[in-house]
Structure 1
Amino acid sequence: MLPPLALIAEISPHQLEVAETLLQVGRFLVIFLAARAIAEVMVRLQLPTILGELVAGVLIGVSGLHLIVPPDTQAQISDALLSLLGSLAEIRPEEVAEIYNETFPSLQAVSQIGLFALLFLTGLESELDELVAVGVQATTVAVAGVVLPFALGTAGLYYLFHVPLIPAVFAGAAMTATSIGITASVFGELKWLKRKEGQIVIGAAVLDDILGIVILAVVVAIVGGGSFSIGPVIKLGLAAVAFVAVALVLSRKAAPAFDWVVDQLKAPGDVAVASFVVLTLCCFSAQAIGLEAALGAFAGGLILSASKHTHDIEAAVKPLVALFATVFFVLIGTGMDLSVLNPLDPANREGLIVAAFLLAVAIAGKVAAGWSYLSPEPTNRLVVGLGMMPRGEVGLIFLGLGSQAGILTPALEAAILLMVIGTTFLAPILLRVVIPSEPEPLAQQMPS
């Protein structure tokens, strides 16, 4: 049997081009049709559209029709789809499958652009003064939302379920972070992004990402079996603090310079291109110092939030979010294997029991964090706690690292996956239930 690359080498350039084009265009067609169809249903049920995008991913992914299957999963793409594409490109189905795997990273790159655009827009719509005003509350919520799930999850797995310490620590770490992309999408759609609760959650989610990165660095060092030292952790923490501080300073000082540059540009698309340059520069800077590029995207939006071109920037970015963030959330759904929910399979039962514990701790830990801060004025603490709940892509990243390191048993791996699925799907639903349909009185909103 020929190796995969040899299969592709046998294909003519024209056949390869046809197959790649069919795959790329076909994937987008399937994603957008499924996402929009189910999102329309969600809107009519007064549920956030992001829930429809996640459900669409589940339906077309490894738990459904196998039309979009991430290569790093155990599932295979639909044989019928492979045969159809193979007949159109005049190549064998196994060659289509290999081209599919080779080109899938480009789809993931598009989804990352969607995530970055969404977080950039979130930063752009954040009022800096209001974000700074809730800085103490956001810090308290972030710390409580990390410490509680981590401590309770690790201790419970170790003492109640007798899970070895390292896997227990890893599972506890997987429950610490908050998916800022999901949180920002839900709050933005429900018009609560600029309220005090929304600002607390966004600020806390950003800090959660930073704390999650530090915890991940520690856990990976322990799992890797290398000699753990506090130096790199301190260095990473200082880099995170410095990055946030610089972003806050630039948000005060850089907007006039950006406006001057844009005013000098005459070619079409000046605002969109200049904004994208700032976005990519911030993402690059964050990644270069060891932080998540997503944090840089949020910082980029925050830096330009004081620009006089804010409305033009929003108009340029929102179509990107509508298109590419949809791809991001659908891809999250495609990788979720719901077969682990089947209690009739004896192999799933241990994982389901552990999953019930992890899900309870994951929800309770974040919800409790909503009561961890002091506020001189009334706020909806349940909304804050639920806003911190979704793990989303962050939890999947932790799970992927644990699987690659080989430290998770099948039962614990399934339990973490179910915890991620549960918090990701429940958060938008519960937020829609607890957030009033009609705007609350202006007296309870943040001053503009």
Structure 2
Amino acid sequence: MTNRSPRRILSVGSYAEHLRVGALLRLETTGGLLLMAAAAIAIVWANSPAADSYFALRDLRVGPESLHLDLSLGAWAADGLLAVFFFLVGLELKNEFVAGDLRDPRTAMVPMVAAAAGVAVPALIYMLANLGAPETLRGWAIPAATDIAFAVAVLAIVGTHLPSALRLFLLTLAVVDDLIAIVIIAVVYTAELNLAALGLFLVPAAVYTVLVQRFPRWFAENRWAPWAILLPLAFVAWALLHASGIHATIAGVLLGFATPVRRKDPASGPGKGLAMTFEHNYRPLSTGFAVPVFAFFSAGVAVGGWDGLVDAVSSPVALGIIGGLVLGKPLGIVTSTFLLTRLTRANLDPTIRWIDLAGVGLLAGIGFTVSLLVGELSFGLGSDAGDAAKVGILLASVLAALLASLVLVPRNRRYRRATEAERRDADADGIPDAFDAAPHDPTISAERAG
């Protein structure tokens, strides 16, 4: 029997994947900052003397009643604009599993198991906190999701010198986490199913699929074509899925999955597939408009002064969410990854340490966007439980970001010093140009960082 060397997990992946992820992180950083600003404006407005105007705006109903689309602006943001965000999630998921590092089942196993544990443990903590309040158990999925934009924005600020393997793990973990959240939304929060509307949904969805699969290059080269042809099809599909009883954002995910990742005409030379083209073109719409507007309409909660805030935080709903996101997420992620390294022949990539992974686990406790959506699906707008859920989500996300910063900022300093030491060593050897031109050895940096 031949000896096989231990397999590494959380490795840096291919160079092309690293470049793609880096570009994605830069875009998500901007979106995360806009997300925080929109949420802050909503919270201040909802607790100001002009709070009535905020809730009047959020509850203003627009749309054709005959088509069952006379929705409030808050519902349009949650069901409509957030479909754009989930369309990008669908594109990212398909790209990861078709052309990204997750196409290798051995590589995919670690973030998938970690994400599953990062969903199960927070849900369990929430249910334990709400055992005496069965009417609020419906919110068990609220602390299940990680907000990729918010988490990446924090990582970009505090982790400029952290290993790329750690950054890729956070992104992959959040992508798989989103997939699990999508399944939960589709299965758990579908009360009644209109089979006729669901059947009709398949018609525009099928036409969209045939078009993008048959003419991907044409849609990529003619930027007007997706807006003029695919967008109307997507809107009809969204409206029909909304009428079916399934949450309409799932339409965005399914259409994202239908978009081809690989080029079908390799003879025409290298280039991006249609999924990457759409991701590049439409991510600014999601991160710069759709998600911040959703945050603006969803984050506003009137806490009623200090006493109201104390009552909300001490409720089983808020306590379960805070415990699930701040404690459950890192516990599930780190513990499951540790067990995998002990039960298999996998080792951590040499560029990172377990303390680094703990910091990423804390970052995964930032559950803003999808958690707010699941909170609305669980309790509706304006209910006491819904308001308590918002308070819990906001406090937990801020607390998770602060705790992650306390862990990762010192680690970032260590990695920065290790990189500077490598540069000094290279300069002393008289080869500064060679050092600058070639990527440094991450193993040496890790050994120096300790």
For normalisation by structure 2, the TM-score amounts to: 0.56
Q: Which residue does 1:85 correspond to in 2?
A: none
Q: Which residue does 1:58 correspond to in 2?
A: 39
Q: Which residue does 1:353 correspond to in 2?
A: 314
Q: Which residue does 2:408 correspond to in 1?
A: 434
Deviation at residue 98 of structure 1 after TM alignment: 11
User: Does residue 391 in structure 1 map to residue 367 in structure 2?
Assistant: yes
Q: Which residue does 2:292 correspond to in 1?
A: 330
Corresponding residue SS for 1:305:
coil
User: Does residue 170 in structure 1 map to residue 156 in structure 2?
Assistant: no
1:356-371 mapped onto 2 (5 Å cutoff): 356=319, 358-371=321-334
For residues 137 and 422 of structure 1, what CA distance do their matches in structure 2 show? Answer: 29
1:177–1:212 CA contact under 8 A, matched in 2? no
2:260–2:274 CA contact under 8 A, matched in 1? no
Structure-2 change in CA distance of 1:282 and 1:377 (3 Å): farther
Deviation at residue 178 of structure 1 after TM alignment: 3.9
Select which of 130, 143, 158 maps to 2:101: 130
For residues 46 and 311 of structure 2, what CA distance do their matches in structure 1 show? Answer: 27
Structure-2 change in CA distance of 1:206 and 1:281 (3 Å): farther
Q: Which residue does 1:400 correspond to in 2?
A: 376
2:30–2:287 CA contact under 8 A, matched in 1? no
Corresponding residue SS for 1:389:
coil
**1:434 counterpart letter in structure 2:** L
**2:175 counterpart letter in structure 1:** I
Q: Which residue does 1:119 correspond to in 2?
A: 89
Structure-2 change in CA distance of 1:192 and 1:208 (3 Å): farther
For residues 78 and 260 of structure 1, what CA distance do their matches in structure 2 show? Answer: 46
**1:352 counterpart letter in structure 2:** V
1:117–1:325 CA contact under 8 A, matched in 2? no
1:19-418 mapped onto 2 (5 Å cutoff): 48-61=29-42, 63-64=44-45, 75-77=51-53, 101-102=61-62, 105=73, 108=77, 111-112=81-82, 114-120=84-90, 122-123=92-93, 126=96, 128=98, 130-133=101-104, 134-158=107-131, 163-167=132-136, 169-179=137-147, 195-217=168-190, 261-263=215-217, 268-269=222-223, 272=226, 276=230, 280=234, 287=241, 294=249, 297-298=252-253, 300-301=255-256, 303-307=259-263, 309-310=271-272, 314=276, 317-331=279-293, 332-337=295-300, 339-340=302-303, 342-343=305-306, 345=307, 347-354=308-315, 355-356=318-319, 358-371=321-334, 372-373=336-337, 374-375=340-341, 376-378=346-348, 381-382=357-358, 384-386=360-362, 388-404=364-380, 410=384, 412-418=385-391
Deviation at residue 418 of structure 1 after TM alignment: 1.6
1:54–1:330 CA contact under 8 A, matched in 2? yes
For residues 418 and 99 of structure 1, what CA distance do their matches in structure 2 show? Answer: 20
Count of residues paired in the alignment: 337
**1:306 counterpart letter in structure 2:** R
Deviation at residue 203 of structure 1 after TM alignment: 1.8
Deviation at residue 51 of structure 1 after TM alignment: 4.0
For residues 310 and 299 of structure 2, what CA distance do their matches in structure 1 show? Answer: 18
Deviation at residue 119 of structure 1 after TM alignment: 2.2
Q: Which residue does 2:66 correspond to in 1?
A: none
Gaps of 5+ in 2: 1-25, 64-71, 203-208, 264-269, 350-355, 420-438, 444-450
For residues 201 and 78 of structure 1, what CA distance do their matches in structure 2 show? Answer: 31
Cα deviations by residue, 1:164-195 (Å, 9 ceiling, x for unpaired): 2232x124333234446656787899877982
**2:85 counterpart letter in structure 1:** L
For residues 365 and 225 of structure 2, what CA distance do their matches in structure 1 show? Answer: 35
For residues 236 and 101 of structure 2, what CA distance do their matches in structure 1 show? Answer: 22
Structure-2 change in CA distance of 1:180 and 1:138 (3 Å): same
RMSD of equivalent CA atoms: 5.2
1:173–1:215 CA contact under 8 A, matched in 2? no
Identity %, equivalent residues = 14
Q: Which residue does 1:225 correspond to in 2?
A: none
Cα deviations by residue, 1:274-300 (Å, 9 ceiling, x for unpaired): 995699399759948876554554565
Q: Which residue does 2:433 correspond to in 1?
A: none
Gaps of 5+ in 1: 1-42, 70-74, 80-93, 222-231, 233-238, 244-253
Cα deviations by residue, 1:116-148 (Å, 9 ceiling, x for unpaired): 453255346536352243443344223322322
